[in-house]
């Protein structure tokens, strides 16, 4: 089947997938084998091969991905085939870059939006695989997978899943794992602040109590896109299980503090005046004790916006993403995390409309940016 296929056809097929994405049914099945075309870019072996053959010969093949076929591919082409027992490849900087460009933008039910859907959804599949694997490793917790990738008429700004102890479902305080719209992985202790169903939202006074309790403590981990090459599914799962296990006491005390009307937060063994200091394990599960380092440094990242803007231009993100990041940072620094999460871009035929807020939480006029 590879007689007329050249390496350049494989590269052209990869570029076509970059532009069109791959159909949902590709990810609905197990995709254990992925082809690495360049650093940080991987493609499903079967879909990439099918498209390369079609480009070269015009023939549409229906074939099974057997070891014999993969060996022939390895013999002819200089591209590495990676195997993922999880059924999908790990997060990549390239995929998170695509996700961050689309997240929060308007979506319309038109055929021309299908390629955007197909480029956006793979990150949701990986995020749900993360949730599925955490559930297997944390039997005393419930992990709620979230396949809702739309928010009203927009693409969702994140792919977050909630993790809470059995019996705590209605308490609206939980751990969150997933991908943020700014293109990084996050694990954090959080509460339900917004929902179309108001009955699911924690009362405002309890939200404030929760934020006061969490303030100054070590309550989150962020894994940035440019760090992902040093990560794997195993490392991410161990890291997540380790963090949640270590912060179980913080989670219990947060629920107690919020619901017992305490005026002062109870002291925690995990309490810290610097939320980026790593706390050594106390009762970590035996399964992961050997993987816990003696020292770990989670230093905060100081953002160089001039460098970020230059990098944004080089990677094609452009001014609209740069402004969105600035707006979100402005609101976070003003203590308006809930408003920062609402900053979004709206795609249209001519450019981007950016919705944001001022430091008083009031919505401001949108910024029109033309796409050059």
For the segment 323-351, what is each residue's pLDDT rounded down to a tens digit? Answer: 776 777 777 767 676 777 777 765 544 34
Maximum distance among all Cα pairs of the chain, rounded to whole angstroms: 75
Cβ-count burial of 42 within 10 angstroms (0-12 exposed, 13-18 middle, 19+ buried)? buried
Number of H helices, E strands in the chain: 13, 13
DSSP states along 12-75: HHHHHHHHH---HHHHHS---EEEEEETTEEEEHHHHHHHHHHHHHS--------HHHHHHHHH
Q: At what angle do helices 248-259 and 204-214 cross, to 10 degrees?
A: 140
Q: Which residues pair with 150 in a beta bridge?
A: 155
- SS3 of residue 95 by DSSP: helix
Q: Quote the pLDDT of residue 274.
A: 39
Q: Quote the pLDDT of residue 2.
A: 75
Please tell me the distance from the alpha carbon of residue 197 to that of residue 321, in angstroms, as a whole number.
30
Q: Quote the pLDDT of residue 365.
A: 55
Q: Quote the pLDDT of residue 288.
A: 42
Q: Quote the pLDDT of residue 63.
A: 79
Q: Quote the pLDDT of residue 353.
A: 64
Q: Residues 6 or more apart from 333 whose CB is under 8 A from it?
A: none
Q: What is the pTM of this model?
A: 0.68
At 157, phi and psi to the nearest 5?
Answer: -85, -5
Whether 288 contacts 245, CB under 8 Å? yes
Counting as low any pLDDT under 50, the low residues of the chain are 262-303, 305, 312-317, 348-352, 368-372
At 275, list the tokens: 């939320």
CA proximity to 139, closest of 103, 172, 163: 163
Q: Quote the pLDDT of residue 87.
A: 92
At 164, list the tokens: 């809470």
Q: Quote the pLDDT of residue 309.
A: 52
Q: Where are the beta strands (DSSP E) in the chain?
A: 33-38, 41-44, 80-83, 141-144, 150-151, 154-155, 158-165, 173-180, 184-191, 220-224, 344-347, 351-357, 363-370
Q: Residues 6 or more apart from 335 whose CB is under 8 A from it?
A: none
At 60, phi and psi to the nearest 5?
Answer: -100, 115
Please tell me the distance from the alpha carbon of residue 10 to that of residue 125, in angstroms, as a whole number.
24
């Amino acid at each position: 089947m590879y007689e007329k296929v050249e390496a350049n056809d494989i590269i052209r097929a990869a570029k076509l997938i970059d532009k069109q994405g791959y159909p949902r049914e590709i990810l609905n099945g197990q995709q254990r084998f992925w082809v690495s075309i360049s650093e940080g870019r991987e493609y499903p072996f079967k879909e990439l091969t099918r498209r390369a053959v079609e480009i070269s010969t015009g023939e549409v093949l229906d074939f099974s991905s057997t070891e014999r076929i993969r060996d022939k591919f390895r013999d002819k082409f200089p591209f590495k085939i990676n195997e993922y027992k999880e059924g999908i490849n790990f997060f990549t900087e390239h995929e998170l870059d695509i996700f961050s460009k689309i997240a929060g933008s308007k979506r319309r039910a038109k055929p021309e939006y299908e390629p955007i859907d197909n480029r956006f959804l793979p990150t949701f599949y990986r995020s749900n695989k993360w949730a599925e694997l955490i559930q297997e490793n944390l039997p005393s917790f419930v992990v709620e997978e979230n396949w809702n990738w739309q928010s009203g008429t927009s693409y969702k700004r994140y792919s977050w899943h909630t993790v809470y102890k059995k019996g705590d479902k209605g308490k609206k305080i939980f751990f969150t794992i997933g991908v943020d719209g700014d293109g990084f992985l996050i694990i954090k202790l959080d509460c339900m602040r917004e929902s179309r169903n108001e009955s699911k939202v924690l009362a405002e006074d309890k939200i404030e109590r929760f934020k006061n309790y969490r303030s100054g403590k070590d309550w989150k981990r962020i894994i940035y896109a440019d760090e992902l090459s040093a990560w794997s599914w195993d490392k991410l799962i161990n890291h997540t299980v380790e963090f949640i296990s270590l912060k179980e006491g913080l989670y219990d005390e947060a629920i107690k503090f919020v619901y017992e009307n305490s005026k002062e937060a109870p002291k925690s063994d995990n309490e810290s005046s610097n939320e980026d200091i790593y706390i050594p394990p106390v009762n970590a599960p035996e399964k992961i004790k050997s993987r816990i380092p003696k020292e770990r440094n989670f230093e905060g990242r100081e953002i160089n916006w001039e460098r970020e803007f230059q990098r944004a231009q080089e990677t094609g993100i452009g001014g609209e993403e740069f402004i969105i990041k600035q707006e979100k940072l402005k609101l976070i620094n003003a203590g308006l995390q809930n408003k920062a999460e609402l900053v979004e871009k709206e795609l249209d035929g001519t450019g981007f409309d950016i919705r944001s807020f001022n430091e008083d939480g009031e919505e401001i006029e949108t910024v029109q940016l033309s796409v050059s």
